[in-house]
Amino acid sequence: MKDYYYFLGIKPNASSEDIKKAYRKLSLKYHPDKNENDEFFTDRFREIKEAYETLMDEDSRKVYDQRFGSFQRSQKSMLPPKIKNFHADKIRAQKGDEITIHWQTYDADLVKITPFGLEKSQGDRKFRIKEFDKEGKFQIILHATNTLLHKTVVQGITITEVSGEIKTSIKEDVPAQNSTSVPQKKEEVNARFYYKLLAIILLAIALYLVFLQ
């Protein structure tokens, strides 16, 4: 069951004026028209509007408070909250890249993922990063809370921005024939030298034999 007070960032004993102020502030922030009809902002705005309309009506608020109180008592665990798993399919990305996060918590009746808002105790979410901070980072923070014990565990994921152009240093390979060209030339020079030397020796022997005759 949704926690409307949490959606609006107000206390359960908030006045009608407090509800109005919270709604105006959040509606300006999450209104789809100001966020290019992004699905995330559309969902958040719908939840905020739903919470506002329920809590501003006196009878609807009384019924909601009774049901939500019963729900909280039935759902709360006496064990401290735990985050078993929280990861993203990539931690290096460019603007506009699709990223999927997965999480799984235990003994938490209130799960919030910043910047997305309230979520189920476990699940997956796909989203696209529109902006990174000045350091080229995008932070995703998971809060798992047991409101009965007033205990919260927190875990974060940092997505790092990468350049649109992936630069790879390439070393120019020296052709195999060039790498062996020097030894080959030396061998050729040495062979010619020995052939000439052998020819001179044979000539000298022939002249010597002629001289002896």
CATH class held by domain 78-167: mainly beta
Q: Which pLDDT value is given to residue 34?
A: 78
Of residues 33 and 159, more confidence is placed in: 159
State both tokens at 143. Answer: 């809060």
Model confidence band, residue 39 (pLDDT cutoffs 50, 70, 90): confident
Model confidence band, residue 198 (pLDDT cutoffs 50, 70, 90): confident
Of residues 134 and 212, more confidence is placed in: 134
Residue located via tokens 């407090």: 18
Q: What is the DSSP letter of 31?
A: -
Of residues 23 and 188, more confidence is placed in: 23
Taking only the tens place, the pLDDT of each residue in 79-118 is: 889 999 999 999 999 999 999 999 999 989 889 999 998 8
Q: Where are the domains of the chain?
A: 1-75, 78-167
Model confidence band, residue 169 (pLDDT cutoffs 50, 70, 90): very low
| Interatomic CA distance for residues 10 and 15, integer angstroms | 9
**Is pLDDT at 191 greater than 90 in this prediction?**
no
State both tokens at 191. Answer: 């062979």
Tell me if domain 1-75 and domain 78-167 are identical in fold: no
For 151, half-sphere exposure in the C-beta direction (CA atoms, 13 angstrom radius) is: 13
For the domain covering 1-75, report its CATH number. Answer: 1.10.287.110
Least confident of 77-86, 150-159, 185-194: 185-194
Give me the mean pLDDT over the 159-174 stretch.
59
Contact 127, 103 (CB under 8 A): no
Give me the mean pLDDT over the 191-200 stretch.
72
Sequence-separated (6 or more) residues with CB below 8 Å from residue 53: 60
In DSSP notation, 173-189 reads PPPHHHHTHHHHHHHHH
Model confidence band, residue 177 (pLDDT cutoffs 50, 70, 90): very low
Give me the mean pLDDT over the 116-130 stretch.
91
